[in-house]
Amino acid sequence: MKIASTTAGALVASFLALSIPGSPPDPGDGPVRGQSFVWNQDSLWIALESQYVAARDSDCDEISESVVARSLNLQSATQELRHSPYEYDHSIFDSLETAFFDLAPAVAACPDHLPDFVATYREIRDGIKHQSRDWDVNTIGARQRLYRSLYGGRAAVEEVMLQHSDEMVTLVEGRAEPSATPSVEINGLQIHSGDILVSRGGYPTSALISRGNDYPGNFSHIALVHVDGSTRQASIIEAHIEVGVTVATAEQYLQDKKLRIMVLRPRADLPALIEDPMLPHRAATLALEGALGGHIPYDFEMDYNDPSRLFCSEVASAAYGEVGVTLWMGLSTISSDGLRRWLSAFGVRHFETQEPSDLEYDPQLAVVAEWRDPETLFKDHIDNAVIDVMLEGAERGDDLDFEWYRLAPARIAKAYSWLRNQAGGTGPIPEGMSPAAALRNKSFSDRHDTIAATVYRDATRFRSEQGYPPPYWKLIELSRLAVAGGGDG
């Protein structure tokens, strides 16, 4: 009996010792030049929704003439971006933004005009990226202009698409940027060696990566494509939290849960590519050889200057850096105190870094194509809205908590994971992630899913009552109500 009592006491003492939490991570100071972007245009969003409701009650034949005329005016103004240089603060960009937003309600009511609306966005995006070649994209003004035009324009397009999901444009081809590197056709699109795939996963952490930025975006993951010149076999090099750097086939890459994918390609007229048109292929080859040459752990700290560990963005930036091309001409900044506190709780230590969403704004890269999953686009928007509202709570001081008694089992699981890692395998807690970070991740994901389920239910009710799906600003409102109700609505 005494032995059993002693053993039980030792086990309890060990459990309590393993349950002692460490000091919370200190996020430190934010980036010096960072500044969180805020639209501050709630009255505009409400007005646009009112215009849409009114347009739905109109005969499309009556408003089509106006839509066509306004579209032609937009296209004419967009052509100016190809012929004359403009600074980022020129009034032409505000005029284009206003005209494009104002056109959206009528197109949403009369979806026959959707293909032309999407084409107009594509022309605006290409024109502004063309203009940005002469801008310093690290300045606040230039970054805000690129963000407003590219992200804002995409948001308008998707609001229109979601009103008519059965007519959604799934694949939008962009600039037909020439490339001399080996290529292969994937899902009807010619993909070249050195192309960069920017995607959005379907998990709560994917939404956090997309939105956790001074410029909340749409993408959470980066991968680099290598195409073998002889076999035309595509290899996708990427870094995953669970296993570090890996190589996948195109089929394996597409099977992983993705809500959207954008294809970016280095411009053929870059001086480095004029000198060596095969440079993107050389970069992809270096990345492939590195991935196959040995285990490269995942970089939770997001230190893009440390080549010994790589997060997803570094797979592309490190490879291109080795051949003389510096990607992310505009580095990502994470300034919000609450967001930095949350990210540091997951292991992030660097808040001027390379976020997946921001690569789109690099003027060295052309947008070749963009694909959306029509079945999950609304989920994408709900996830974004929930994250945005959760981050409002982070700014107010909300913490990522977990029950104290879960820490001891998590530390045991981490020890088991370490043994698995030494043998070349994976365990329940990823290499480089602490037990406390894993528990915070689980708590965060559970909280997100609870709120998202409530928002989805309330959004379904809104659609039934109003006759149309709630736009993003309504999803924000529903998310705030869900959070206030503890996720129960």
pLDDT at 456 over 90: yes
φ, ψ dihedrals at 379, nearest 5°: -60, -40
d(CA 40, CA 222): 30
Residue 432 — pLDDT band, cuts 50, 70, 90?
A: very high
HSE-CB of 192 using CA atoms within 13 angstroms: 23
Q: Which tens digit of pLDDT belongs to each residue from 270-298?
A: 999 999 999 999 999 999 999 999 999 99
Residue 169 — pLDDT band, cuts 50, 70, 90?
A: confident
The CATH code that applies to domain 183-372 is 3.90.1720.10
**Lowest mean pLDDT, pick from 36-40, 86-90, 167-171, 212-216:** 167-171
- The token pair at 322 is 């080795």
Question: Average pLDDT, stretch 416-439?
Answer: 92
- Residue-level pLDDT at 274: 98
**Lowest mean pLDDT, pick from 6-15, 157-166, 319-328:** 6-15
d(CA 303, CA 305): 5
pLDDT at 19 over 70: no
pLDDT at 451 over 90: yes
101 Cβ neighbours under 8 A, 6+ residues apart: 44, 48, 152, 156
348 Cβ neighbours under 8 A, 6+ residues apart: 300, 301, 302, 340
Task: Tell me what percent of the residues of the chain surpass a pLDDT of 90.
Answer: 82
pLDDT at 18 over 70: no
**Which of the 8 DSSP states describes residue 84?**
S
pLDDT at 6 over 70: no
- Residue-level pLDDT at 5: 61
Query: In terms of DSSP H, where are the helices of 424-469?
Result: 435-466
Report the number of secondary-structure helices (H) and strands (E) in the chain.
Answer: 17, 11
pLDDT at 1 over 60: no
- Residue-level pLDDT at 484: 93
Task: Tell me what percent of the residues of the chain surpass a pLDDT of 70.
Answer: 94
- Residue-level pLDDT at 90: 97
d(CA 387, CA 318): 30
Greater confidence (17 vs 446) lies with: 446
Question: Average pLDDT, stretch 338-359?
Answer: 94
φ, ψ dihedrals at 240, nearest 5°: -115, 145
Q: Which tens digit of pLDDT belongs to each residue from 124-157?
A: 999 999 999 999 999 999 999 999 999 999 999 9
- Residue-level pLDDT at 9: 62
Residue 228 — pLDDT band, cuts 50, 70, 90?
A: very high
pLDDT at 102 over 90: yes
- Residue-level pLDDT at 25: 76
CA dihedral for 316, 317, 319, 320, sign (positive or negative)? positive
- Residue-level pLDDT at 2: 60
Q: Which tens digit of pLDDT belongs to each residue from 71-94?
A: 999 999 999 998 899 999 999 999
| Mean pLDDT score across all residues of the chain | 93
User: pTM of the prediction?
Assistant: 0.94
Q: Is 89 helix (H, G, I), strand (E, B) or coil?
A: coil
- Residue-level pLDDT at 293: 95
| Residue ranges covered by each domain of the chain | 42-168, 183-372, 387-484
pLDDT at 488 over 70: no
d(CA 147, CA 35): 13
- Listed residue (301, 329, 334, 300) closest to 31, CA to CA: 334
**Do residues 199 and 261 touch, judged by C-beta distance below 8 A?**
yes
